[in-house]
Structure 1
Amino acid sequence: MELEPVLTPFAGAAGDVVDWATVESAYGTGFPSDYKEFVRLFGHGTIEGRIATLIPVATSDPMVRRVAPLSDRMKSDPDYQRWTEPPVEARVLDRILVWGETDSSDVLGWITSGPDPDAWSLAVWARGDAAWTAYSCGMVEFLVRLLRGNFARCPISDTSLVGVPHARFLHDREEERLAAEGLYPWDD
């Protein structure tokens, strides 16, 4: 499933160059091929100011916003233990790798079970439901289905992106440049 033309860069250059061999060695796992293509085309930024997408960075610095496992606090917090359907595997929260978040405090990640990252399911913790839901699709298919309104029920807490025909992506470096000029692009 292709993300373009459902999602287009807002302004400036998008995309990030990632040394996948170094990153995969640091993380101890591969990454899904659709996600790698997303990072190449779009990268670290936001979709309509509502969904933040993260990239993997080979660092242990907790201040760097990046793809990361769920925090120990989230894994041990009873508020994050509920699933809309019971998880198939025990201790599945230990295998969630977060690639995104929403401005509604939802968490978007992969359930990193199995050696093939392209076969990983997606996990979404929706604050509005206070529960996790697993989806049998990749990151790009998830975003396309969300933006096209192809889920029976919105998978995130904020429904404003459902059915958006032409969503915009703003890379973090472009957002920082605009902010330095006193501009906030999502005000229109």
Structure 2
Amino acid sequence: MSELSDLDALRRLMPPPTDGGTTVDWDAVAASWGKPFPPDYQHFMEVYGAGAVQNYLSIGRPEPKVPLGRAPRDGMVIETANAEADWETEGKTPELEDTSPALIVWGVAATADMLCWDASGDDPAKWPVLVYQRNDSLWSRYDCGMVEFLVRNFRADLPENPLGGTFLWDVSAVTFQPRD
């Protein structure tokens, strides 16, 4: 799918909140992380903002990368550090063996699953989604962007449910609660 058709599909499955949207200084975020964030995530933030999907998946506000001691608790920087630690010790699907991705967490599930980008590539529009599913202690790769991943998960259009809970799997109507 294309980025815009993915966002249209997401809007049909998960209507945007009337009070959604998060204002982000994308230049500052990109400068601190050393790379811009994917355009579909930027559009998601404009339309939905940070918040919770089905009160299960928390999609965090983009934040500048700062030293861990100065990072907001449970924010993108802290969760990315958690993901990096789990990457070193946990199992991986065969295509991820012997790889060293540049992880950036964009979502955390109530079952402690982490949803990340592999930000190794030069084009953020092509960064795949990596999921650490805590129940199976396993990392998996999905060759799609964040918005397409959500749509495909809602439609059960992935080989299997990538998350530890079924709250977002094969659902026809999804709620989003913004928070800032």
1:97 partner SS: strand
Is the CA contact (8 Å cut-off) linking 1:16 and 1:43 kept in structure 2? yes
CA distance in 2, matches of 1:161, 1:118: 23
Cα distance, 1:84 vs structure 2 = 1.9
Regions of 4+ moved over 6 Å: none
Q: Tell me, which stretches of 5 or more residues in structure 2 are unaligned? A: 1-5
Structure 1 match to 2:120:
113
Q: Does 1:62 align with 2:68?
A: no
- TM-score, with normalisation over the residues of structure 1? 0.81
- For 1:50, the aligned partner's letter is Y
Cα distance, 1:116 vs structure 2 = 0.5
Structure 1 match to 2:177:
170
* Change in 2 beyond 3 A, CA 1:153/1:91: same
Bigger mean CA offset, 133-142 vs 152-161: 152-161
- How much is the aligned-residue C-alpha RMSD, in angstroms? 2.1
Identity of aligned residues (%): 29
Is the CA contact (8 Å cut-off) linking 2:113 and 2:163 kept in structure 1? yes
2:140 partner SS: strand
- For 2:51, the aligned partner's letter is G
CA distance in 1, matches of 2:150, 2:129: 11
- For 1:24, the aligned partner's letter is A
Structure 2 match to 1:183:
none
CA distance in 2, matches of 1:171, 1:84: 33
Cα distance, 1:65 vs structure 2 = 4.0
Structure 1 match to 2:19:
13
Cα distance, 1:113 vs structure 2 = 1.1
- TM-score, with normalisation over the residues of structure 2? 0.85
Structure 1 match to 2:57:
51
Is the CA contact (8 Å cut-off) linking 1:124 and 1:134 kept in structure 2? yes
- For 1:70, the aligned partner's letter is T
Cα distance, 1:59 vs structure 2 = 5.8
1:70 partner SS: helix
User: How many residue pairs were aligned?
Assistant: 169
Structure 2 match to 1:156:
163
Structure 2 counterparts to residues 62-141 of structure 1, below 5 A:
62-68=71-77, 70-71=80-81, 74-76=83-85, 80-87=89-96, 90-92=99-101, 95-141=102-148
Cα distance, 1:74 vs structure 2 = 4.9
Deviations 1:131-160 (A, max 9, x none): 000110000000001111112210111012
Which structure would you say has the larger Rg?
A: 1
Cα distance, 1:27 vs structure 2 = 1.5
Cα distance, 1:82 vs structure 2 = 1.1
Pick from 22, 29, 43 the counterpart of residue 28 of structure 2.
22
1:105 partner SS: coil
Is the CA contact (8 Å cut-off) linking 1:66 and 1:99 kept in structure 2? no
